[in-house]
Amino acid sequence: MTDLLFLQDAYLKKTTSTVTAVNGDLVMLDRTLFYPSGGGQPHDLGTIASTEAKHNVIDVFKNEGSVWHKVDGTDMKEGQTVTSELDWERRHRLMRTHTALHILCGVIWNEYGVFVTGGNMEPLRARMDFAFDPLPNNFAEHITNIVNTEIKASRPIEISYLRRPEALADDHLIRTKVNLIPDSVTTIRVVDIVGLDKQADGGTHVANTLDVGRFEITKTESKGKGNKRVRIILHD
């Protein structure tokens, strides 16, 4: 098992770790800063350095509780102490984007009571699908204004953990389909934009909504009955 440092501190940029396994250009560490692809959030990039060489991390993925890092080299050895460092600009942009999507979800739920049906993100841009049929009139302008108001409200983002029975009893988490999380997961990580949105989530987020930047809906699309796509970008 890999200790996932980003779950506790998304702002940690650099740390030392021990190599626990090597398979060609794949490296496993006892603990990692690097977020593996999942939940609509892309994997982190950065470097892993030993005393002999520094390698770029080009892919990160999770397998059976452990995280593998694909690097551009094959000379790391089990038992080595290495230094990991994030591509912080990319990570922070993804944190801003992920939090922006949670703000969007909270606003749409509060305004319309509509569920999310899918989503994906890249740094400072994303798309999210909602169960609208059809989209309300003046949707993009209306929602953009409310989201930007919520960003300026300087709401803190808090991380907590709930036992599964507590999470299933929370109405806010039920609406975000926490009940779809596998039964094997007994502790649920919760991301709470205080006073706006609460979701079961394993991604990385900024500490305050002010850090998100200016939000803009660039396009809306119909992806079929009961499924409308919203494309967004963020500005500094």
What confidence tens digit (pLDDT) does each residue in 89-131 have?
999 999 999 999 999 999 999 999 998 888 999 999 999 999 9
Phi, psi of 138 (to 5 degrees): 55, 30
The torsion angles phi and psi of 92, rounded to 5 degrees, stand at: -65, -35
Question: What percent of the chain is helix, strand and coil (3-state, nearest 5)?
Answer: 25, 40, 35
Q: Output the pLDDT for position 60.
A: 98
Total residues belonging to the chain: 236
SS (H, E, C) 159-176: EEEEEHHHHHCCHHHHHC
**To the nearest whole number, what is the mean pLDDT of the chain?**
93
Rounded to whole angstroms, the Cα distance separating 233 from 148 reads: 12
In contact, 199 and 191? CB cutoff 8 Å: yes
- CA distances (Å), 90 to each of 13, 95, 168, in order? 11, 9, 34
- How far, in Å, CA of 193 to CA of 205, rounded? 10
Tell me what pLDDT residue 75 has. Answer: 85
Domains of the chain, start order: 3-86 (2.40.30.130), 91-235 (3.30.980.10)
Residue 91: phi, psi to the nearest 5? -60, -45
**Residues of the chain falling short of pLDDT 50:** none
